[in-house]
Chain A
Amino acid sequence: MGVTLSDKAATHVANFLAKRGKGIGLRLGVRTSGCSGMAYKLEFVDEVNPDDLVFEHNGVKVIVDAKSLPYLDGMELDFAREGLNEGFKFNNPNVKDQCGCGESFNV
């Protein structure tokens, strides 16, 4: 299973990485915090840790640490535009409920 990127998300990540000038990929993760228990992490990656899993989509590496994977398994990261706002969207099948804004969730 693992995690996947939509084509649109992959293109944007590749652009951001190129613009940044360094970095080997994109890190997805979760940590315990926020109003609903868990919060997503979305970061550039400069180095891969030993317990990381690396997925690849359209040439873009997605890195997930082993502890986060159970919460993200089967998830697709998409890039969306909502009005003037734009950014990445987590389509996570593991989520039971989330706070109003979706920044924090529960499994």
Chain B
Amino acid sequence: MALFQIAEPGESAAPHEHKLAIGIDLGTTNSLVATVRSGMAVCLNDEQGRPLLPSVVRYHADNSTEVGYDAQTKQAIDPHNTIVSVKRFMGRGLKDIAHVESMPYDFVEAPGMVKVKTIAGIKSPVEVSAEVLKSLKQRAEMALGGDLVGAVITVPAYFDDAQRQATKDAARLAGLNVLRLLNEPTAAAIAYGLDNAAEGVYAVYDLGGGTFDISILKLTKGVFEVMSTGGDSALGGDDFDHRIFCWVIEQAKLQPLSPEDGRHLMMRCREAKEYLTNNPEAQITVRLTSGEMVDIKLDVPTFAAIAQTLISKTLQPVKKALRDAGLRVEDVKGVVMVGGSTRMPQVQKAVGDFFRQDPLTNLDPDKVVALGAATQANLLVGNKTGKDDWLLLDVIPLSLGLETMGGLTEKVIPRNSTIPTARGQEFTTFKDGQTAMAIHVVQGERELVSDCRSLARFELRGIPPMVAGAARIRVTFQVDADGLLSVAAREQTTGVESSVTVKPSYGLTDDEIAGMLKDSMEHAKDDAISRALKEAQVEAQRMIEATEAAMAEDPHLLNEAETAKIVSTITKLRETIAGDNRRLINIAMDDLGFETQAFAHRRMDQSIKKVLSGRNVDDIKMGEDA
């Protein structure tokens, strides 16, 4: 028997079509998975009711793995094959990694990314992360009772392209469909429901296991704009453990430790740090493999002194991020605390002092990111369609537009617009009696269609015959959260419609996008010139057609000499259109305008007369009827 969740009004899914989506916080120390159930974001616990999955993977000789707590407990006995904090190696070379000397791994330098030699062979950080993701995926499938449509995975705002790509690759390897990578601070802000709050500037202070991020977010009408980010991709809770570790070695005057002993002591140091959050002192007790006992008391003042430099190290990027955003401390309306390390009272106090306000700490700092990611995932798969719920997600890399007369591009959605988005623009017919319109959807920054990328073509038929310029055709561009573009055209008076759906980024690599952007900058001036020429040509053509139509309609209003003069001026204008001199076209258009002035006046008089006489007849008729 299926178990049901409550849907929003009118949005119950059809049987077997529940869109199960999850949010994953793939952390340095711990990872979590969350989903939205009956409108509420919740973290999914394992069989023992624990929400956290330690991001630890242990490899066995037969290539099988242990992940999470099981692996964590084996850290001390099998440090070479038990990989912790693998997120620090994602997309990194050996030289980028801090404290390599204190890590028990057998690193192998490989192009692009470091690898680790284990008993099961050489493993890349992508493969190790995939094991963590697989475990979370399995948990989610059991908890949700079905296949997942997709996942939102969070990454530090600091992650560069290589690190983001590595994260995506890991997800693919784990068999997850990545809906989107979301910056961790943005996810946290979403979890706190700041998108529902009043407008304002918020700071997200995220001190996790291995990374520190500060983000300054500006909220306007429920949409987050990231004003600036900063941080340190190699500073986190692990560093506090490491500081305590060094302090213990110094205090106990220990000789260099074996990997097993080092791991063991490091674990005790972490426990001591966590214990000090709610207690005045902690005891660090370890029996080394040599039989030597280490037994040291760490009290809060000592720890505060040890932690001081690390904490103040986090405040430098905070100041810089504020400066980058052009803001002062007073402008910040709220501060969100994220990451287990923000449980340290010393951190909360330092941040509170800096921002001169108490930071938000009422959600579990370990869970906020996953909860926000789940909320986002739920939105992206379309389980919630309220218009106000959209958040800053992604931008369109290149402008989307239409071809207009003369092969010109009319941009409808400019590049860097956040998606999802919808924009409409009205177009009209070019010729009298035009009953169809070809719509050519293009992508690019250049002014001429021939320099842009063609995405799709379709036709709108059934436009009622009208004079040129009278039809009102609304063309709407809509890009959904997945970057899928649909274009619809609708003639406003009759309601005839036509539409097409395309994937604008399909087949375009980042390099190609960069190339297209570069072209547009290099050719900006050429483009402006050719655009002006094309516009003049189109305008001249339109003028000729209008004049000829008028002459055909009212030949009696012109004498022979006038007709001949107009015809020859039109011929001259036609010649200039064929050329590429905009100035000559404009002069020839002025000439034609001058030659047809008297004709236009006469036509005007004639139509006024018609209207007036028409009214007389009506008036008389009405009088008779009465």
Residues of A within 8 A of B (CB): 12-13, 15-16, 19-20, 26-27, 31, 33-35, 39-46, 80, 82-90, 99, 101-104
Contact = CB atoms under 8 A, between A and B. Distances in A.
Contacts of A44: 6-9, 39
Main secondary structure of the interface of A (DSSP, over half): strand
A80 B3 contact: yes
B37 interface: yes
Contacts of B139: 84
8 contacts: A19-B39, A34-B14, A43-B7, A86-B143, A87-B2, A88-B4, A88-B6, A102-B1
Nearest to B193: A21
B15 A104 contact: yes
Contacts of B47: 84
B3 A87 contact: yes
Task: Tell me what chain B mostly uses at the interface: helix, strand, loop, or mixed.
Answer: loop
Contacts of B2: 87, 101-103
Given A19-B40, A104-B15, A88 B9 contact: no
B143 A84 contact: yes
Given A44-B7, A87-B5, A104-B15, 13 more contacts: A16-B39, A19-B40, A31-B12, A42-B5, A43-B9, A84-B46, A84-B139, A87-B38, A89-B3, A90-B4, A99-B15, A102-B1, A104-B16
B52 to A, nearest CB: 15
A101 to B, nearest CB: 5
Contacts of B526: none
Contacts of A104: 15-16
A44 to B, nearest CB: 6
- Which of B2, B9, B143, B145 has most chain A Cβ within 10 Å? B2
Contact of B4 (A19, A40, A84): A40
A86 B3 contact: yes
**Most interface-central of B4, B16, B37 (chain A CB within 10 A):** B4
B256 interface: no
Interface in B421-450: none
B10 A43 contact: yes
B142 interface: yes
B9 A27 contact: yes
B7 A42 contact: yes
B39 A26 contact: no
A87 B37 contact: yes
Nearest to A15: B40
Contacts of A41: 7, 12
Contacts of B12: 31, 39-43
Contact of A35 (B1, B7, B16, B143): B16
A37 B7 CA distance: 20
B96 interface: no
Contacts of A83: 142-143
A33 to B, nearest CB: 5
Interface string B11-52: 110111000000000000000000001111000111100000
A44 B10 CA distance: 9
B15 A88 contact: no
Contacts of A12: 38
A78 B252 CA distance: 60
Given A16-B40, A85-B144, A101-B2, A43 B15 contact: no
Interface string B38-70: 111000111100000000000000000000000
A89 B1 contact: yes
Nearest to B141: A84
